[in-house]
Chains A and B, each alone.
Chain A
Amino acid sequence: MSVELEVHNSQGLPTEEMTLNMGPQHPSTHGVLRFIVKADGEVMRRAIPDIGYLHRSIEKIAEKVGWHGFMPYTDRVDYVAAMACNQGWAMAAEQLADIEVPRRGEYCRVIAAELSRICSHLLGVGAMGMDMGAITPFTHAIRERDMIMDLIEELCGARLTFNYMRIGGVAWDLPHGFVEKVSHYLDHLEPVIEEFNQLLGFNRIYVKRLADVATVDADMAIAWGLVGPNLRGSGVDFDVRRDLPYSVYEDFDFDVPLGSGEMGSIGDSWDRYIVRMREMVESIRILRQALAGIPEGPVIARVARNFKPPVGDVHVKIEAPRGEQSWYVSSDGSEYPHRVHIRTGSFTAMGIIDRLSHGLMIADLVAVIASMDIVAPEVDR
């Protein structure tokens, strides 16, 4: 990076830009992200992202391990919300081979995905609080996340890399007493979310840190390819679960929260925060409906051990917690996929940060990264 000397400030006096490195190791919880910040004192001119520190060639590995064997690797695409990635891969393979998942299996998938969505949003808003300096809401969010992980551990045996879904359904049926336990937990979670909002979300200092910071209006959000809560925070009413429904989401009645500029302008960082909080409430709604209406039956369809889908491509979109994840899978008829490409929400969100950071302060850069809910595994795969 060449240092730009002889930059002139507003009074025409020559000054120098400071190049700072917000390196791959830093105490904020978003993983290994690196930004090269060019700043004039506290005010940034550019924040150039440098990605690739967590690249694990997951897409290439798919070509080696085969259709069934890739499922555990999808957990690692976004380990904060692994169920959604499982679902994306399973749906892609099922669409290629025209497999129908039994209804109970779909309901199990929805329950798992929504629990995972709550987990992911808890981590996202908790990390946001911690980046702003509020250390307590983070620990409360992690505590709730831990309780959900206890539930999921009963369901599938693991707490982070679930490997719960299979091509054709899910691997384990709901254990005895699971429905009661989850309902009991959801009763506990609702007041916790309200409390979290009162402690952090509506706190004046927090609002002032986030309102009108890095405002992304609807056109800019669409032009830069933002997805998920980032897009909805800018007021664009699009949710894959409702608009391009997959699985059994059509059976459920839920709202899609949008940013409305309550505390500043539409599309500022606070809007993205509150969209996530409200999405958690909607997820609880979906969960209650799913738990109440889950049908009897098998949870997985019969699928061959040496699964060989016909030749073809498929492009599957799911609503992961960080936004719309697209899975492009190409099959050449063999036991190994020909090409897998995963397009994640965090990747494009990284791109817009450079555009937004002009004129922001360095303290705001952390706020923006946190409000976009960027996690390194999704960016780099």
Chain B
Amino acid sequence: MQAFLDTFLGDAAGLERQLGYLAGMAVFGSVVVFGFVLPFAGIVTWAERRIWARIQSRVGPNRVGPFGFLQWLADGVKNILKEDLIPTVADRPLFRFAPYVVMVGFIAAFVCVPFSSDLIIADLNIGILYVTAVTSLVVVGILMAGWSSNNRWSLLGGIRAATQIISYEIPASLSIFPAVLLSGTLSMQGIIGAQGAAPWQWHMFHSPFTLLGFGLFFTAALAEGNRTPFDLAEAESELVAGFATEYSGMRSTLFFMAEWGNLYVIGALVTTLYMGGWQLPQFTYNPVLMNLAQAGVFMGKSFACVFFMIWLRATLPRVRVDQLMAMCWKYMVPLAMLSVFGTATLMVALPNGSHTLRMATFAVVVGVVIRFAFKVRFHLKRARELDYSSLSSGASQGLSS
């Protein structure tokens, strides 16, 4: 990014140069945020509803726009037009401020998300540390929301969320270490640079310890993002909407956009750390094409992670708060320690890495995927697809495909 801006700034120096960088970053940041992040947060709701619907034997929204694609816009417009209710007993300044804190905490993470080798707003040399730090702002926002609503259910939700996010910072940060150790740098581009384009060259498959780190990071990030199975902060059947109960209209939309957008942040982080980022074999020397292709690869991998998280949410029930804590401290932290020490030990024992170990880990994962495919086939064959039209006198004859 800096190199790109340098071409415009020529030989301006000092304050001018810094201001130029600032302006460039602001422009690019706005493009990313308003052009990608916020629409994506909306589109992921559409994707979520369609994906859940197919899993649940029904059809998701399909009336508003082609395949219901404009449903999220319609929902957004509806939310904007709603009355902005603030309970009289609520703490007004905190109540209004809380959604903004949550949004800032979530959007600020995009500064360091590497979309391709040149498309990154700022390649901080403490990249991943910055992201972890800044996403913790969300806790403050959620606690503010839960407290200021002056509603016991919101308070419970807010406190649950705060304990959850703070606790899961530990395994999340610990599971970043294997990737950082292997890359030797905290910078996002550096971590990607240490990986290769082919799947077995990703950090994930370096050894079983990094595979463990990948799994733990994914789970801990899920817990950070308040997604099922860890979504007790907004457990619908218990607390209506948890900390966001008293919020209506656009304010509540901000909370939920932060949650859905967080899905992408999690996907991006997992991709960067463990799945090779935007790495692609060099197929052209045209930088624009190359960057676009790399961005495409990055998006593809992140969207795959997002799809997995949506799919997981449809499948699993949620854990209780004490089980959540037990899982974090009794299971994930020891396993994360194991993955860190294991990776470190391997790095000392085999400084150049072991190709066989890498290929073995890759083979194990491929085996798991194949087993999964067989299980899916088994389930499909077992569920004797009922020919619906033969059931009743034809109430289901009206099935459209």
A and B, one complex? yes
In the complex, chain B residues whose CB is within 8 Å of the CB of A130: 237
Question: How distant is A135 from chain B, measured CB to nearest CB, in Å?
Answer: 6
In the complex, chain A residues whose CB is within 8 Å of the CB of B232: 363
Question: How distant is B117 from chain A, measured CB to nearest CB, in Å?
Answer: 40
| Contact (Cβ within 8 A) A136 B319 | no
Quick one: which of A18, A27, A133, A154 contacts B317, CB cutoff 8 A?
Answer: A133
| Residue of B whose beta carbon sits closest to that of A191 | B382
In the complex, chain B residues whose CB is within 8 Å of the CB of A224: none
| Residue of B whose beta carbon sits closest to that of A18 | B152
| Contact (Cβ within 8 A) B237 A209 | no
Chain B CB within 8 A of A131 CB: yes
* Interface size of A as a range: 35 or more
Chain A CB within 8 A of B377 CB: no
* Interface size of B as a range: 35 or more
Q: How far is the CA of A329 from the CA of B240 in the complex (A)?
A: 42
Chain B CB within 8 A of A332 CB: no
Chain A CB within 8 A of B289 CB: no
* Chain A 309-344 interface 0/1 with B at a Cβ cutoff of 8 Å (1 = within): 000000000000000000000000000000000000
Chain A CB within 8 A of B259 CB: no
In the complex, chain B residues whose CB is within 8 Å of the CB of A203: 316-317
Chain A CB within 8 A of B62 CB: no
In the complex, chain B residues whose CB is within 8 Å of the CB of A26: 237, 240
| Contact (Cβ within 8 A) B57 A139 | yes
- With contacts A132-B317, A143-B57 taken as known, whether A151 is within 8 angstroms of B391 at the C-beta atoms is yes
| Contact (Cβ within 8 A) A150 B391 | yes
Chain B CB within 8 A of A288 CB: no
Chain B CB within 8 A of A68 CB: no
Chain B CB within 8 A of A222 CB: no
Chain A CB within 8 A of B224 CB: no
Q: How far is the CA of A187 from the CA of B52 in the complex (A)?
A: 26
Question: How distant is B246 from chain A, measured CB to nearest CB, in Å?
Answer: 15
Chain B CB within 8 A of A262 CB: no
In the complex, chain B residues whose CB is within 8 Å of the CB of A139: 56-58
If A133-B316, A154-B392, A203-B317 are given as contacts, then 16 extra A-B residue pairs at C-beta distance below 8 Å, sorted by A number, are A20-B152, A27-B240, A132-B318, A133-B229, A135-B52, A136-B56, A153-B392, A184-B390, A185-B391, A194-B382, A199-B315, A205-B229, A205-B316, A205-B317, A362-B156, A363-B238
6 A-B pairs closest in CB distance? A133-B318, A139-B56, A150-B392, A132-B317, A134-B317, A188-B386
Could you list some 9 contacts between A and B, CB below 8 A? Answer: A20-B153, A135-B56, A136-B55, A188-B384, A203-B317, A205-B229, A208-B319, A209-B319, A361-B321
